[in-house]
Chain A
Amino acid sequence: MAHSEHADHAEHDHHGPAHGFIQRWVMATNHKDIGTMYLVFAGLMFLIGGAMALVIRAELWTPGLQFVDPQFFNSMTTMHALVMIFGGMMPAWTGLANWMIPMQVGAPDMALPRLNNFSFWILPFAFLMLLATLFVPGGAPAGGWTIYPPLVVQGGANFPMSMFAIHMMGISSILGAINVIVTIMNMRAPGMTLLRMPMFTWTWLITAYLLILVMPVLAGAVTMVITDHYFGTTFFSAAGGGDPVLYQHIFWFFGHPEVYILILPAFGVVSEIIPTFSRKPLFGYESMVYASASIGFLSFIVWAHHMFTVGMPLAGQMFFMLTTMMIAVPTGVKVFNWSTTMWKGSLTFEPPMLFAIAFLFLFTIGGFSGLMLAITPADFQYHDSYFVVAHFHYVLVPGALFAIIAAVYYWLPKWSGHMYNQTLAKWHFWLSAVFVNVLFFPQHFLGLAGMPRRIPDYATQFADWNAVSSIGAFGFGFAQLLFVWLIISCVRGGEKASDHVWEDTHGLEWELSSPAPYHSWTTPPSDAVILRGTTGH
């Protein structure tokens, strides 16, 4: 019996957590401790990035300039994006990977534990540097998170700070991704074949490949911007034979796969949660794996859909339009499989399931508006409008962020050993789900009506929907405080969670006790345990 095995472990195990804050956390090597640090850091960054979003929505509450000057407004849009993407989303996924992948594949820990801690500890320093730009002469970067030259080259003291902060984040991501790949490829229990792996591990494996291939390209782009600014290179200056559009190609070669880096693990989480609460195996497990891999591949050949308006040759526009639309095929396979998993299942609506179902509907809305943007001639209208803002926020907030929240609600009892207050969590869900739509849906209308993005002031005909959107923003923002409170109180105590936590769970993590033992699988799980864990497929 796996459970008794692990009860034994707890007694023998003289390798429990180290004593003392520095020993345990700063010098950590344990995947759960490092995962926790990643998640706490991500939560902090979500709050900071969220506060910046509220500054933006407060300013846009009515036409005219009321709270901040335009320069600071632009800093807020730039910093909000950088903090949310590199400080919130990516560390949150890496934290979940740290916690779950060794448990899901039957490994004692991550493959390279010290490297793992290095990946984490780079981040606080990187964000110290990025956030410090708020206090230097000239203020924080305000040229947009995409740091396009020539505008970005005009930045003041913030310029080298933000550039090197991005370099540090890149190093952290690359090292983290190497660790994930090595853990999955080398540390699986003997019976854990690739096609028995849980979907979360699968999607993270593909994500890690994307990270290794595109983060260095971002580093290259950032390096070229730095040398153009300080050392006289002319990569992005036409006078010297370069081209500012070249920057956009290099950046979006990173940038498009980056959005799949943010969303693929979300696909994995939803693929774990929907079967559990439908009490049915995941429909089309293998097609899910292949669809994820196809999305990963296609993400490398669509980047120029972000730059249809720069004056590309027609053949380029056609190519990137068609490849972009092709992504709808594997994504459609996924949505179909999730819906089919629920079909005739005996569904219950615990908090993780609620967020997963909301993901299914709302992410699909974001996917459809993405298809609209993929149509080159239509994109000439939508480009740089609030329609784009609405599109990617639907993909990232009720998409990726809801999946992160769902993952926390799904696995938190396994981590802490306690069940949280499910009634309050359902309140958190309904407040979030309603306000997120109040927040972002009107932005579609604003964009179609012609409101450009990244402006602190706007024409009066946009006033009504902006006000609605701002109400949604504050509602959504404050609803998340409930989430923070729920997590803290769940970690501190509460009703004891069983080892399987939910009624119909599959996967090796549920074969460990709740809370999970400090070292996950010091002895690899037997074939029988693996099979019991994976009968879901």
Chain B
Amino acid sequence: MSTHAATHDESQYYVPHSSRWPIIGSMSLFLLVGGAVVTLNGWGSGWSFLPGILGILTLFFGWFHDVIGENQKGMFNLAVDRSFRMGMMWFIVSEIFFFAAFFGALFYARQLSVPWLGGEGVKPFNKLLLWQEYSPTWPTNGPGAVGGHADGSFETIPAFGLPAINTALLLASGVTITIAHHALRAGHRGILKIFLAATFVLGFIFVYFQGTEYHHAYTELGLKLSTGIYGSTFFMLTGFHGLHVTIGAIMLTVVWLRVMKGHFTPERHFAFEATAWYWHFVDVVWLILFVFVYWI
């Protein structure tokens, strides 16, 4: 017969007694989207985001602080560890499908709607009656030549410039994190620290390059979020990806700080692995993006 005081007992699945973080989280989320509503409706300035952002930061800091503390006290048995792993895996799956919506939009535009606008396939009347002048070639900002330079033109970013360098950076970061993982499992903490640091540094360099690329696109190429369907898909896909790289690099930094504090053992290091999975996911999304957005 088990007793319930023994939460440290390996056979007991740890069920926290009560927690303030969920309610703080949902209120912060409400404040955050409330800030978005206030700003978008013109009811107030962008400062209305501030309470929500502070709340969300408090949430992440506080919640993870609690969980890491419990973990360090050894309150999580292997079953809890497995729950965390599965939870992270399925979270990443949901992220994949979020990106799928935008890739779906890209493929739909390139394969179906843009050719149709040019009168191809089952839609000859688009050409005959609506847009005689329009030739449906990718990249395009549509028959209305929306956005771009004053004359409606725009240029794209060639794949084998900065994007190729960024690809190399992310692939290299995939290698460094794998080396760091092997080092962690072999107990080589020195190598772990160096290669983990290298990983997030590569990530932040990627984000910096992405920023310069955006600046170039906006100021010189006439390529903006509003530059028709090309600009829409380009910036939404690379933008959400860049956001995920930023989040991933912050996660790596936090894991690195924990490594510096002596957390993780060769056997038990869920946070490290979860971050590594996330990083590989971000990597793979970039490869698909590089091929279909920049290259072909």
Q: Identify the A interface with B (CB < 8 A).
A: 8, 12-15, 18, 23-24, 26-30, 107-109, 111-115, 117-118, 120-122, 124-126, 128-129, 157, 160-161, 164-165, 167-168, 171, 174, 177-179, 181-182, 185-187, 212-217, 219-221, 223-224, 227, 230-235, 237-243, 245-246, 249-250, 253, 311, 313-314, 519, 522-523
Contacts and interface: CB of A to CB of B under 8 A. Distances in A.
Contact of A29 (B1, B4, B18, B226): B18
Interface of B: 1-5, 12-13, 15-23, 25-27, 29-30, 33-34, 36-37, 40-41, 63, 79, 82-84, 86-87, 90-91, 93-98, 100-102, 104-105, 108-109, 112-114, 116-117, 121-122, 140-144, 146-147, 224-226, 228-233, 235-236
A168 B101 contact: no
Contact of A160 (B40, B113, B147): B40
A240 B18 contact: no
Contact of B109 (A215, A220, A243): A243
Closest 6 CB pairs of A and B: A220-B101, A232-B226, A239-B144, A241-B142, A241-B229, A233-B232
A145 to B, nearest CB: 18
A168 B13 contact: no
A30 B18 CA distance: 8
Contacts, number: 239
Given A29-B18, A250-B104, A242 B93 contact: no
| B4, B22, B226: residue with the most chain A Cβ atoms closer than 10 Å | B22
Nearest to A219: B98
Contacts of B233: 235
Contacts of B93: 212-213
B143 A216 contact: no
B37 A227 contact: no
Contact of B18 (A28, A109, A227): A28
Nearest to B79: A186
A174 B94 contact: yes
- Determine chain B's interface SS by DSSP, over half rule: helix
B228 A523 contact: no
Nearest to A126: B30
Contacts of B141: 234, 240-241
A232 B147 contact: yes
Nearest to A133: B37
B228 A27 contact: no
B97 A216 contact: yes
Contact of A249 (B33, B108, B121): B108
Contact of B26 (A108, A118, A227, A242): A118
Contacts of B63: 114
A113 B130 CA distance: 57
25 contacts: A15-B17, A27-B23, A108-B13, A111-B86, A112-B83, A121-B25, A129-B33, A129-B34, A187-B13, A212-B90, A212-B94, A219-B101, A233-B232, A233-B236, A234-B228, A237-B146, A240-B144, A241-B141, A241-B143, A241-B229, A242-B109, A243-B108, A246-B109, A253-B101, A522-B12
